[in-house]
Chains A and B, each alone.
Chain A
Amino acid sequence: MLSLTLKEAVHKLRDGSITAKDLCEKCIERLNKTQQLNAFITETVDISRDSAAETDKRRQKSKPMRWRKLEGLPIAVKDNFCTTGIRTSCATTMLQNYIPPYTATVVQRLQDEGAYLIGKTNMDEFAMGSGSVDGIHGPVRNPWKYKFTSSNTSEQTKPIEQVSMRNYHTSTDDWHIAGGSSGGSAAAVASGVCFGALGSDTGGSTRNPAAYCGVVGFKPTYGMLSRHGLVPLVNSMDVPALFSKTVDDASILFNVMAGHDVHDSTTVTDEFNHFTLPDNIDIKDLHIGIPKEYHAPGLSKDVHNAWEEAADMFEKAGAKVTQVSLPHTQYSILCYIVLNCCEVASNMARYDGIEFGHRAANEDSTEELYAATRHEGFNDVVRDRILAGNYFLLRQNYEKYFAKAMQVRRLISEDFKKVYASGVDILLTPTTLTTAPTYKWFTERDNRTSSEEQDIFTQPVNMAGVPAISVPSKLSTDGLPIGLQFIGQNFKDKELLTIAKWYEQQVQFKQLDLDYLDTVS
Chain B
Amino acid sequence: MSLTKLTCRLWLQRVSRIKKGFCSKVPKTPIWEELDNTKIPNVPQIDQEMINHLERVSLVEFNNQAGIERLSKAIESANKLHMVNTDGIEPMESVLEDRMLYLREDKVTDGKCKQEVLSNAVKTIEDYFVAPPGNIPLKTKERDYGSNSNGS
| Residues of B near any A CB (own CB < 8 A) | 20, 22, 24-33, 50, 53-55, 57-63, 67, 70-71, 73-75, 77-78, 80-84, 86, 89-96, 99, 101-104, 109, 113, 116-117, 119-123, 129-139
What is the CB-to-nearest-CB distance from B93 to chain A, in angstroms, rounded to a whole number?
Answer: 6
Q: Contacts A297-B32, A337-B74, A341-B74 hold; do A369 and B131 have CB atoms under 8 A apart?
A: yes
Q: Is A410 an interface residue (CB 8 A)?
A: yes
Chain B, Cβ-Cβ closest to A261: B102
Q: Contacts A295-B30, A338-B78 hold; do A366 and B67 have CB atoms under 8 A apart?
A: no
Q: Contacts A295-B30, A322-B25, A410-B90 hold; do A365 and B81 have CB atoms under 8 A apart?
A: no
Q: Does the CB pair B119–A101 fall under 8 Å?
A: yes
B53, B78, B84: which contacts A411 (Cβ < 8 A)?
B84
Q: Main SS of chain B's interface residues?
A: loop
What is the CB-to-nearest-CB distance from A304 to chain B, in angstroms, rounded to a whole number?
Answer: 7
CA distance A165 to B150 in the complex (A): 30
Q: Does the CB pair A367–B134 fall under 8 Å?
A: yes
Q: Is A97 an interface residue (CB 8 A)?
A: yes
Q: Does the CB pair A330–B32 fall under 8 Å?
A: yes
16 contacts between A and B (CB under 8 A): A101-B120, A265-B102, A265-B103, A299-B30, A331-B83, A337-B74, A359-B123, A365-B132, A370-B59, A380-B67, A387-B58, A388-B74, A406-B91, A407-B90, A448-B70, A449-B73
Q: Does the CB pair B84–A331 fall under 8 Å?
A: yes
| Residues of A near any B CB (own CB < 8 A) | 97-102, 222-223, 236, 260, 262, 265-269, 290, 292-293, 295-299, 304, 307-308, 311-312, 315, 321-323, 328, 330-331, 334-335, 337-338, 341, 345, 352-359, 363-371, 374-375, 378, 380, 383-384, 386-388, 390-392, 394, 401, 403-411, 413, 446, 448-449, 452, 464-465, 490
CA distance A312 to B21 in the complex (A): 11
What is the CB-to-nearest-CB distance from B69 to chain A, in angstroms, rounded to a whole number?
Answer: 10
Q: Does the CB pair B22–A315 fall under 8 Å?
A: yes
**Cβ contacts under 8 Å, A401 to chain B:** 78, 81
CA distance A182 to B89 in the complex (A): 34
Q: Contacts A328-B84, A355-B121, A384-B71 hold; do A293 and B32 have CB atoms under 8 A apart?
A: yes
Q: Does the CB pair A365–B90 fall under 8 Å?
A: no
**Cβ contacts under 8 Å, B93 to chain A:** 236, 406
Q: Contacts A367-B134, A446-B70 hold; do A464 and B54 have CB atoms under 8 A apart?
A: no
Question: Which of B27, B82, B109, B133 is the most central at the interface, judged by chain A CB atoms within 10 Å of its CB?
Answer: B27
Q: Contacts A367-B136, A404-B82 hold; do A295 and B31 have CB atoms under 8 A apart?
A: yes
B73, B74, B95, B130: which contacts A465 (Cβ < 8 A)?
B95
Q: Does the CB pair B33–A330 fall under 8 Å?
A: yes
